[in-house]
Amino acid sequence: MNLKAANYDTSFGEQGLVSLVSPGNESNEMARLKLDSQGRTIIYGTYQHGNPKKFRAGVGRLTDNGNPDLEFGSDGAGFTIAPERNDAPNVDGLDYNKNDELFIVTVANENLTLLRYDQNGRFPKAFSIDSSSAGLTPQLLVMDDNKLIISGIVDQGVMLYRRNADGTADDNFGERGKKHVLTDSAYVNIWKIISDSSKDHFFLVGFARNTGIVAKFDTEGNLDGSFATGGVFAISTETSANSSCINAISLANDNIIILYNAFYDNAPACFITCLNREGEPEPSFNSGQALRLIGNVAESISLAAGGEFAVAHRSLTTGNYVSLFLPSGAPYPDFGVEGNFKLNLIPGIVKDVIIHSDKRITVGFSNPPHTKLARLTY
């Protein structure tokens, strides 16, 4: 039996592959993925639209077979349209609240900007947050009370903002709705804000203090001193001889799975490691040691309800991979070769991965001028 051929979901696109067509068949870069509350695939990034036509922030929703969902968006083509006079070039962070309203954070007109849409990606409204933190990769998380936590990069550390459910500033947070954190870092980049179902805390994930970090905060923006060292877990120099960056984490029931890139033995490499909820190495995962992946760039991680998790990773020499692991870090049985599935049918660079509840995996690829998507089964 050819396991590699059997793993493509032939009900998705053509033999498990989709080349994304955005309105007017214009160029798009929408390889980032999320599932909404109904388990539908959300894609986001940027595509050419508007007048004048240029790359603007966009979100799309797919049907189960990989076609744009025409019930989504304002243009009858399955994609959001940026508000007028808003030149946001890309969606950086995205989340839904309990009412399934869609929120996007981006940088538009040199301002950190929040966009709010209804549950079908219509009726956009823009909120200008701050011009002092309009740097790279702002991120967004909707909390349990429908308030929003937003991160922006400043010259020294990170600025956190809390917004009310309607998008307006929450003046009860920090100083007039914002709080400066991780101030001991001259250079910071935050790739993700994440929380679990309790939503009584959140994690910032990325680079600070010259290494990859995971920082745990309460909902008031205070570091949780009971986690790791003073609220911050940093990649050890025993694993990474030089600087590293944590790209993604996933929160299992009791553990935190961390995906990171680092220089190791004077060469780029990528790893998975696992912490318990106190921020210490979890001995049940690969005997408490970091697990090295094929390639040198780890992009994304997605956790299934059963505890298994998928990782998207790559290099120029080895190509694109999705690997599937058991909660212990052992390879998932009968998936690809020893748990590693080489995506050799798809051109481009793997960017994101999500696991669906029915044991399917969707993978997003950057491949200008059109995004590529693949769906696998396991």
Give all domains of the chain, ordered by start, each with its CATH number. 25-322 (2.120.10.30)
Query: Cα separation of 224 and 230, whole Å?
Result: 7
Helix (H) or strand (E) holding 49: strand 41-49
- Strands of the 291-292 sheet, one edge to the other: 244-251, 255-264, 267-276, 291-292
Residue type, 307: G
Closest CA to 38 of 360, 373, 357, 377: 357
Model's pTM, two decimal places? 0.93
pLDDT digits (tens, 9 = 90+) for 238-285: 544 445 788 888 898 789 999 999 888 778 899 999 999 999 999 999
The CA-CA-CA angle for residues 154, 155, 159, to 5°, reads 25
Tell me whether strands 291-292 and 297-303 are parallel, antiparallel or unpaired.
Answer: unpaired
- For residue 324, the cross-strand partners are 310
Q: What's the chain's average pLDDT? A: 91
280 conformational bin, left if phi > 0, alpha if psi -120 to 50, beta if neither: beta
Rounded CA separation 377/39 (Å)? 16
User: Which residue from 296, 304, 302 is spatially nearest to 353, judged by alpha carbons?
Assistant: 302
Rg (CA), the chain: 20
Mind giving me the DSSP string for 310-361?
A: EEEEEETTTEEEEEEE-TTSPBPTTSTBTTEEE-TT--SEEEEEEE-TTSEE
What whole-number distance in Å separates Cα of residue 324 and Cα of residue 335? 7
Structure confidence at residue 241 (pLDDT): 44
Per-residue pLDDT of 219-249, as tens digits, reads 999 999 999 999 999 987 554 444 578 888 8
pLDDT value at position 237? 52
The whole-angstrom separation of Cα 145 and Cα 123 is 23
* Degrees to nearest 5, angle at CA 149 with 146 and 152: 155
| Pairing status of strand 372-377 against strand 17-19 | antiparallel
Per DSSP, 8 falls in state B
What's the pLDDT at 139?
Answer: 95
Residues 107 and 44: their CA atoms lie apart, in Å, by 15
Cα separation, 352 vs 375, whole angstroms: 12
Residues lower than pLDDT 70 in the chain: 1-6, 134-135, 237-243
Interatomic CA distance for residues 189 and 153, integer angstroms: 7
Two tokens, residue 108 = 């538009």
Cis peptide before 369 (omega within 30 of 0): yes
